[in-house]
Amino acid sequence: MTSKSTAVPRFDAKAPGLLSFIRNLSTPWKMRMFFLQKLPSCWFWGVRIREVTPNRCQVTIPYSWWTQNPFRSTYFAALAGAAELSTGALAMIALHGRGRISMLVTGLEGQFVKKADSLTTFTCEQGEAIQEAVQLAIDSGEGQTARILTIGRNGAGEEACRFWLTWSFKAKR
């Protein structure tokens, strides 16, 4: 009699299903449809994923009538939404094909350095830290958190803001 192994595979950046998932994240019309269904505010604001790999994600949010506040800058909530997506896309990649694992933002901290009055690009380069937290959650069976930094830069490349998002991951048994 053979026993079935229920071991969860380790993260594999070259897995065919994962590569297809990343291509879908990089396809503008597919992301717009996803936003329309699951994140309508990102669709409304015009948020775009510009670049995504297992370790890095760049997301843009335009400065427009849809995203501005009365002080002629991008509304902080719109900036926070784009910042969350830049980290959340990396979390979705880390979870892809790994079984049932919940992910939830449990903390958000923002720092505003310069007025966001042009296209803002958020860059998160902490995919490995997210992958490690997910693997630890799977291995230990305990919930794990990761505090992830994303930096928003204006059209001139100057830092406009930075956000730290605390993500919680827990494997569902």
What's the DSSP call for residue 81? Answer: H
CATH number at residue 74: 3.10.129.10
Q: Which of 19, 165, 33, 30 is nearest to 91 (CA)?
A: 165
Question: H or E element: which one contains 121?
Answer: strand 120-124
Is the pTM above the cut of 0.85?
yes
Residue at 124 is within a domain: yes
Task: Give residue 61's pLDDT.
Answer: 96
Residue at 137 is within a domain: yes
Which letter, b or e, does each residue of 22-59 get, where b requires 16 or more Cβ atoms within 10 Å of its Cβ? beebeeeeebeebbeeebeebbebbbbbeebebbbbbb
Task: Please check whether residue 71 is in contact with residue 112, taking contact to mean a CB–CB distance below 8 angstroms.
Answer: no
pLDDT digits (tens, 9 = 90+) for 33-66: 888 888 888 889 999 999 999 999 999 999 999 9
Residue at 84 is within a domain: yes
Residue at 67 is within a domain: yes
Task: Please check whether residue 172 is in contact with residue 102, taking contact to mean a CB–CB distance below 8 angstroms.
Answer: yes
Number of domains in the chain: 1
Q: Which of 50, 32, 51 is nearest to 41 (CA)?
A: 32
Binning pLDDT at 50, 70 and 90, where does residue 8 land? Answer: low
Residue at 152 is within a domain: yes
Q: Tell me how far apart the alpha carbons of residues 27 and 34 are, in angstroms, rounded to a whole number.
A: 11
Task: Give residue 52's pLDDT.
Answer: 94
